[in-house]
Amino acid sequence: MMAEAFAGKVVAVTGAARGIGRAIALAFAARGARVLGADMDPLPVEGVEMHRCDVADEDEVRRFLEHVGPVLHVLVNNAGISRFGDLESTPVALFDRVIAVNLRGTYLMSRFAVPLLRAAGEAAIINISSTRALMSEPNTEAYSASKGGILALTHALAMTLGPAVRVNAILPGWIDVIGEELRPEDHAQHPVGRVGRPEDIAAAALFLADPAQSGFMTGQQLVVDGGMTRKMIYVE
pLDDT tens digits in sequence order for the chain, 236 residues long: 566 889 999 999 999 999 999 999 999 999 999 999 999 999 999 999 999 999 999 999 999 999 999 999 999 999 999 988 889 999 999 999 999 999 999 999 999 999 999 999 999 999 999 999 999 899 999 999 999 999 999 999 999 999 999 999 999 999 999 888 899 999 999 999 999 999 999 999 999 999 999 999 999 999 999 999 999 887 76
Integer angstrom CA distances of residue 61 from 34, 51, 140, 148, 161: 19, 11, 27, 22, 19
Domain boundaries, the chain: 10-230
Is 107 one of the annotated active-site residues of the chain? no
As beta bridge partners, residue 221 has 169
Q: What is the pLDDT at residue 233?
A: 83
Whole-number pLDDT of residue 10? 98
- Cβ contact 130:147 at 8 Å: yes
pLDDT of residue 61: 98
Residue 236, pLDDT score: 67
Q: What is the pLDDT of residue 188?
A: 93
Give the per-residue pLDDT at 84: 85
What is the number of other CB atoms lying within 10 angstroms of the CB of residue 204? 21
Question: Does the structural domain 10-230 have CATH classification 3.40.50.720?
Answer: yes
Alpha-carbon distance of 180 to 9, in angstroms, equals: 34
Question: Cβ(168)–Cβ(154) under 8 Å?
Answer: yes
pLDDT at 180: 84
Q: Please tell me which residue in 77, 105, 143, 201 is annotated as part of the active site.
A: 143
3-state SS of the chain? CCCCCCCCCEEEEECCCCHHHHHHHHHHHHCCCEEEEEECCCCCCCCEEEEECCCCCHHHHHHHHHHHCCCCCEEEECCCCCCCCCCCCCCHHHHHHHHHHHHHHHHHHHHHHHHHHHHHCCEEEEEECCHHHCCCCCCCHHHHHHHHHHHHHHHHHHHHHCCCEEEEEEEECCECCCCCCCCHHHHHCCCCCCCECHHHHHHHHHHHHCHHHHCCCCCCEEEECCCHHHCCCCCC
